[in-house]
Chains A and B, each alone.
Chain A
Amino acid sequence: MLSIEHYLILSLALFMIGIAGVLMRRNVIVMLMSIELMLNAVNINLIAFSRLHGSVHGQVFAIFVMVAAAAEAVVGLAIILAFFRNGKTLDADEMDILKW
């Protein structure tokens, strides 16, 4: 029988993989994808608790998380494109024009 812990552990695993991706990868597009993965893991938690409590409010909040994820992806990719035009790099270690 499945319990809420199954979903919590699955969500935890996906979230940690996303954190590892953001911290370790050099490519900024893959970092953005990892952030999408983390937001998705949060949605699993919200919907699992929504099912647990028999209320749709968790699903409504998951919709808002999806809206935020979409906005973040659009603006993030636009920033990456603008940066790539100026700096010709996608490497997070080389994006150091603000560092002195």
Chain B
Amino acid sequence: MTVLNSILFYFLAALAIGSALLMVTRRNIVHAAIFLLAALLATAGIFLQLQADFLFIVQIFLFAGGIMALFVFAIMLVRPGIPSQPPRFTRQRFVATILTLILAAQVFFAVVLGSGSLRLAARSVDIAPKNTEAVGDALFRQFIVPFEIASILLLLAMIGAVVISRRNRDAFD
């Protein structure tokens, strides 16, 4: 069982990292969007493996369904104006690579150094079997105020997107 679990984890992790790398390096934006979708789905698998059933299905619905459709739609809207072969990377790519590698090394070192302090990993408690009920319970009992604020944030984002992307501003005034 644990061996199967490990194989599943390494498969999903390799899929996620490989897709993410391809997403960052592909020239074609539509290919990048498809590889982002693959990375998000692999992450959803990781969520399921961590026994977060509710977030697994939310990830698929919200990201794979909603946000990816939004990205593809936006790509379709701006597609005709893109020049044929622009350079993919900015001028500061070498500095950016070095800074990213330094930051990665620092955090990796911190994780390795602090691995002894995470002894709690040994017991790895099982979450309640009814994951969706538990999440809903926590969301509506303890986190009701953040939940309402999040709904206001979504409403504002919706209104803001409509106002920003409206074509002619005087039409409704």
Residues of chain A having any CB pair with chain B under 8 Å: 1-10, 12-14, 16-21, 23-27, 29-30, 32-34, 36-37, 40, 43-44, 47-48, 50-57, 59-60, 62-64, 66-75, 77-82, 84-85, 88-93
Contacts and interface: CB of A to CB of B under 8 A. Distances in A.
B100 A16 contact: yes
B44 to A, nearest CB: 9
Given A1-B2, A24-B96, A93-B91, A17 B165 contact: no
Contact of B127 (A51, A74, A75): A51
B39 A47 contact: no
Interface residues of B, number: 87
B108 A12 contact: yes
A5 B115 contact: yes
A60 B146 CA distance: 10
Contacts of B82: 90
A23 B75 CA distance: 20
Contacts of B97: 20, 24
Given A56-B128, A68-B150, A75-B157, 6 more contacts: A5-B118, A14-B20, A21-B23, A70-B154, A71-B156, A84-B77
Nearest to A39: B63
Main secondary structure of the interface of B (DSSP, over half): helix
21 contacts: A2-B2, A4-B120, A6-B9, A10-B13, A14-B17, A14-B20, A36-B63, A40-B39, A43-B47, A47-B52, A51-B51, A51-B52, A52-B118, A56-B134, A62-B52, A64-B150, A73-B71, A78-B164, A80-B74, A89-B81, A93-B90
B92 A17 contact: no
Nearest to A3: B121
Shortest 9 CB-CB distances between A and B: which pairs?
Answer: A54-B125, A71-B157, A23-B96, A78-B161, A21-B24, A78-B165, A78-B164, A17-B20, A16-B104
Given A18-B20, A25-B90, A56-B134, A50 B111 contact: no
B86 interface: yes
A26 B88 contact: yes
Nearest to B146: A64
A63 B139 CA distance: 9
B78 A60 contact: no
B55 A62 contact: yes
Contact of A59 (B2, B55, B150, B160): B55
B86 to A, nearest CB: 6
